[in-house]
Amino acid sequence: MEYDLIVVGAGHAGCEAAIAAANMGINTLIITMNLDGIAALSCNPNIGGTGKGHLVREIDALGGYMGLNIDKSFIQSRMLNTSKGPAVHSLRVQADKIKYHEYMKQKLENTKNLRLRQMEAIDIIIENNCVKGIVVRDGRKIYSKAVILATGTYLKGKVYIGQNIFESGPDGRFPSNILSDNLKKHGIVLRRLKTGTPARVDKKSLNIELMEVQEGDKTITPFSFLNDEEDIKREQLNCYLTHTTKKMHDYIRANMDKSALYSGAIEGTGPRYCPSIEDKVKRFPDRDDHQVFLEPESESTDEFYVQGVSTSMPEEVQEEMYKMITGLEDVKIMRPGYAIEYDAIFATDLKSTLESKTVKNLFFAGQINGSSGYEEAAAQGIIAGINAANNILGKDSFTIKRDEGYIGVLIDDLVTKISYEPYRMMTARAEYRLTLRQDNADLRLTKKGYDIGLATKDRLERMTHRRELLEEAIKELENYKLNPNEETNAKIKSISTPIKTGSNLKELLKRPEVRLNELIKIFPINTKLNPELMLLIETEVKYEGYIAKNESRINKMHKLEDRPLPDDIDYSNIKGLKIEAIDKLNRIRPETISQASRISGVSPSDINVLMIYLELERRKHERGEDDK
């Protein structure tokens, strides 16, 4: 059997990778150990949120599928952080897990150039440091020009429910044990990570009346730039807010030694930003309650997800402790909470294309790279898929810089920073977050997606139209002159203070209290705007100064970003570099000066030494004196 590309894993990373490569004309095989686990939302039934919503929008803008899939399968939609600045506005929607899986499976089944199979990869075939295919469970070899490993939390998966410990993938599916051992034989370094999830409980056993109802937003914002609100508007389900209690915390403290997490049974490191309830009780001993959200898993089941109470306590302890949450006094657990430990690589062994630094055409994407989250996995999947396709097509590699997208921040952080816990995206990680907003992802990335043959013409035209409307409206506001006369100020009085000198609508809009929708009610303009575009224009105008400052910082950073570092330097030969920097640089082998500057332990003075060394090498080369 021969394919151009084999994608091992049909989770969030594998699906995006396979769909992207197939849409770029690559003959692709995607395999998974269980077709019923395709795009499984093994943990929280929601997509998006702070930083994660930005990733979904960027995947969509590039021509990826996650945004379209969730627009078809959401059951509640909320825009978070609207009281804060636009840089942190984040769309978060509740997904119907069953529909999300079904629609993604249909997409894989109906994508041209893509073949879907239930199979287990037990090894990869490597010849002369180049991948040639995989070996599957029955020993057969399947050959390809490139392979993407997106095996999630399955590699040597081990589940912990108190002292009940067993080999398993998530949701009771088989783990992937053999591949792990063979990857090690090929010299691929693996480490143990862990994550956890709460119990699923029966809605009929909840005392909803004791909880606060959380409704969806009246206005629904699509994740995909190909959708308008009318395309996806629907009846929404409610979530419910409640709290843990002091009684529950005391009970957990009394049983802490039974938790797999605190009995020392678990070796792997968990995500700091998704703590278990045991962690929270330990970390915040003075708190008598923590927020808990009851979230529906799907329209076609009564299973509810207990957000905020992930645990690895024994089941009998779980049954007691969940009853101590307000509104869960009569709760019936349907699935216990558990922790899962699994093998992952060090992503510092990868290039920013997610290709291995040691095995050509072997790519890694998703949780296996040490990230945590559906959105983070999907973002890596699309980049790995694009670059595997480009390698096969003999085209240049495709990367997104830190100033171009959250995807760029995610991958740069993964491949330059050695992190010992699963990496979760947050807006605070993006130094250029003011320009990397979710509302302008298409303006930033769709042209790049189109140029590589992924984003469709329709998508490009929609983006271009949006950009034209944006520019037209801002020009119209700027050209709409205002004279400081009585008539004008009488109009302005209802929204702001009078103007004293000549001005224009754009300047007026810069005033913090002025909103565009109110301004154009008083001073109508021709450009037709929908609420989403109005918000975008308002942000572009009000933050014009900051955005400009950001751009000059970005240009400075680009000067460093574009200084490549040869991949065969022996940093121990460069005089003046500190020991720690030599160790980290020889270990991580950054691709550019800018990447080197982001490695912890490499100081600005080390970067100066490196720049001087490169300059001297360049001059030596010019004089034809280089050692080689």
Q: In the set 7, 70, 121, 232, which binds ligand FAD (CB under 6 A)?
A: 121
- Which residue matches tokens 């119907």? 96
Instruction: Show the beta-strand stretches assigned E in 313-460.
Output: 333-335, 338-345, 362-364
* Least distance (Å) between residue 535 CB and ligand FAD: 27
Q: Which stretch binds ligand FAD (CB under 6 A): 238-246, 276-284, 370-378, 537-545?
A: 370-378
| Burial class (CB within 10 angstroms; exposed 0-12, middle 13-18, buried 19+) of 313 | buried
Q: How far apart are CA 395 and CA 93, in angstroms?
A: 37
153 interacts with ligand FAD by CB under 6 A: yes
Q: In the set 176, 276, 353, 390, which binds ligand FAD (CB under 6 A)?
A: 176
Angle, CA of 10, 12 and 16, to the nearest 5°: 85
Q: How far apart are CA 441 and CA 462, in angstroms?
A: 13
13 interacts with ligand FAD by CB under 6 A: yes
Q: How far apart are CA 463 and CA 442, in angstroms?
A: 6
* Least distance (Å) between residue 273 CB and ligand FAD: 8
Token reading at 85: 């600045």
411 interacts with ligand FAD by CB under 6 A: no
Interaction residues for ligand FAD, span 33-72 (CB under 6 A): 33-34, 37, 40, 42-43
Q: How far apart are CA 231 and CA 529, in angstroms?
A: 18
Q: In the set 8, 345, 430, 536, which binds ligand FAD (CB under 6 A)?
A: 8
Closer to ligand FAD by CB, 32 or 446: give it.
Answer: 32
170 interacts with ligand FAD by CB under 6 A: yes
11 interacts with ligand FAD by CB under 6 A: yes
* Least distance (Å) between residue 35 CB and ligand FAD: 9
Radius of gyration of the chain (CA): 26
Pairing status of strand 74-80 against strand 2-8 = unpaired
β-bridge mates for residue 202, sequence order? 303
Q: Which stretch binds ligand FAD (CB under 6 A): 7-15, 138-146, 476-484, 558-566?
A: 7-15
Q: Which stretch binds ligand FAD (CB under 6 A): 81-89, 101-109, 194-202, 276-284?
A: 194-202
One-letter amino acid at 283 equals: R
Q: Which stretch binds ligand FAD (CB under 6 A): 4-12, 83-91, 506-514, 547-555?
A: 4-12
Alpha-helix residue ranges (DSSP H) falling in 480-543: 486-492, 505-509, 516-522, 531-542
Residue 222 is classified by DSSP as P
For residue 424, give the 3-state DSSP assignment: coil
160 interacts with ligand FAD by CB under 6 A: no
Interaction residues for ligand FAD, span 570-589 (CB under 6 A): none
Q: How far is CA 515 from CA 214, 505, 537, 616, in A?
A: 27, 11, 10, 55
* Least distance (Å) between residue 596 CB and ligand FAD: 28
195 interacts with ligand FAD by CB under 6 A: yes
Task: Give yes or no for a contact between 443 and 466, defined as CB atoms under 8 angstroms apart.
Answer: yes
Total number of residues binding ligand FAD (CB under 6 A)? 37
* Least distance (Å) between residue 42 CB and ligand FAD: 4
Residue-level length of the chain = 628
* Least distance (Å) between residue 119 CB and ligand FAD: 6
Which residues in this chain contact ligand FAD in the complex, by CB under 6 A?
Answer: 8-14, 31-34, 37, 40, 42-43, 120-121, 150-154, 170, 176, 179, 195-197, 274, 340, 366-367, 372-374, 377, 424
